Amino acid sequence: MSSFSYTALRDIMSGHTEGFSYSFDVALTKADRSGDPTRYQSRSLGGVSETYLSMVDTGYKLTTKFFVENSSEHLQMREFLSSIIGGESFNFDRFGSVVVPDDPVECEIVNDKLTEHRKGTENYIGYTFEIRFRISPT
């Protein structure tokens, strides 16, 4: 189980209020961790190279379980994704839950990396999206 905490901004589900913070647990079928370093490398005429690491974009490529369409779980997931699609920050806890947090990390969604997919012709909806958090080099 993993958990998300966010501020509801768009596609507000019944019973929720815009601008309020919400947390929920979700089962992920895929959570692949990835890193994308930003570095600059120069090389002298003598062949000696020097590398400067400015940051590492680290994050996850996530795929959720399938939700029954229009179930409360599905509507919460849709509200969450709609509320963060503009680059708004949220917390992601890969191995924790709302009740028992493990290591929540502040994240943002990677632009244009959100897919809603249907399981066959049935009323099951799943999501695939990428998130990232910044880690400074030490």
pLDDT value, residue 122 = 83
Q: What is the pTM of this model?
A: 0.84
Backbone angles phi, psi at 114, to 5 degrees: -120, 125
The parent domain of residue 64 ranges over 2-10+24-135
Q: How many structural domains are present in the chain?
A: 1
Residue 58 — pLDDT band, cuts 50, 70, 90? confident
In a domain, 54, yes or no: yes
> pLDDT of 77-136, one tens digit each?
999 999 999 989 999 999 999 999 999 999 999 877 788 899 887 899 999 999 998 664
> In this structure, are residues 60 and 33 in contact, taking their beta carbons and an 8 Å threshold?
yes
**Residue 63, in any domain of the structure:** yes
Task: Answer whether residue 15 is part of any domain.
Answer: no
- Assess contact for 29 and 65: CB atoms under 8 A: yes
